[in-house]
Amino acid sequence: MKPRAAEAGGAAGRGCAALIRLTDSASCLVLASMAVVVCVDVVCRYALGFSTQIAEEAASLGLVALIFLSLPGAFRDGALLRVDAVYSHLASGLKNLLDVLFHLIALAVTLVYIVQLGRLAAGSFAQGIRSDMALGTPNYLPQAVMVLGLVVLLGAIVAGFLRTLRHLRNSPSAVEGAAQAKDALAK
């Protein structure tokens, strides 16, 4: 973890790495809780003759948290899927240039998600919207967790972007990459 943080750039990188550690731990905890809550409900239903009534709601909300809290770590560790058939064969200079563009697109998409989910959470809070299931969870809580995960993802993308910029600046093939990109565009 430390070398990655250092590479990503000082205190901000270390902060981001610490946040990712936290969101990862929370995701693991959520996953374990989902398994236990659903399992307990099955046992109660078949062995004790009653249902806890909360399994479906708890598991669904757990899934929301799991997806968004585990995203930053997945992004940092390169676990997000991509078609790298062309990408992996590019020269490092061109790859770095593409990486800059990819990070910018990822930043823009994530920002739209954050703004829109933030607005949704604020709206749910203002209108007091709750789940219509047994727990009656206020919707803004899981929606805020989605925003939280996306904000940490944004941090991970920024750290990756800065790292890519540094590679681009230090890479002797940066000029060569720019020339390759120009050639590719001309073709």
Partner 1 sequence: MTAIALILLAALAFLAAGLWIPFVIGGAAIAVIIAKKGLAGLSAVGLVTWSSANSFTLTAIPLFILMAEILLQTGLASRLYRGLAHATSRLPGGLMQTNIVGCALFSAISGSSVATAASIGTVALPELASRGYPMRMAYGSLAAGGTLGILIPPSIALIIYGTFTDSSIVRLFAAGLIPGLVLALMFSLFVGLFGGGRGRQPSGEDEDAGIVATTIDVLPVMALIVLVLCSLYLGIATPTEAAAVGSVLAFILAALFGDFSWSALKAAFHNSIRASAAILFIVVAAFLFSFALAISGVSGALTAFILSLGLGKAAFLASVAVLYLILGLFIESIAMMVITVPLLAQTFSLYAIDPIWFGVFLVILIEIGQITPPFGLNLFVIQSLNKAPYADVVLGAVPYYAILLGFLVLLVLFPSLALWLPGLIS
Is 126 one of the binding residues for partner 1 (CB under 8 A)?
Answer: no
Q: What is the largest CA-CA distance in the chain?
A: 72
**Which residue do the tokens 């430390």 mark?**
2
Structure tokens at 138: 């206020």
Choose one: 12-20, 26-34, 161-169, 170-178; the region binding partner 1 (CB under 8 A). 26-34
Q: Which of 11, 46, 136, 172 binds partner 1 (CB under 8 A)?
A: 46
**Taking the complex as a whole, how short is the minimal distance between the CB of residue 171 and partner 1, in angstroms?**
18
- b/e per residue 99-137 (b: at least 16 CB within 10 A): beebbeebbeebeebbeebbebbeebeeeeeeeeeeeeb
Q: Which of 19, 120, 134, 162 binds partner 1 (CB under 8 A)?
A: 120
| HSE-CB of 183 using CA atoms within 13 angstroms | 7
Q: How far apart are CA 158 and CA 152, in angstroms?
A: 10
Which CB, 13 or 149, lies closer to partner 1? 149
Choose one: 12-20, 39-47, 162-170, 172-180; the region binding partner 1 (CB under 8 A). 39-47
Structure tokens at 85: 């058939």
Binding site for partner 1 (CB under 8 A): 24, 27-28, 31-32, 34-39, 41-42, 46, 55-56, 59-64, 66-68, 70-71, 73-75, 77, 79-88, 98, 102, 105-106, 108-109, 112-113, 115-120, 139, 142-143, 146
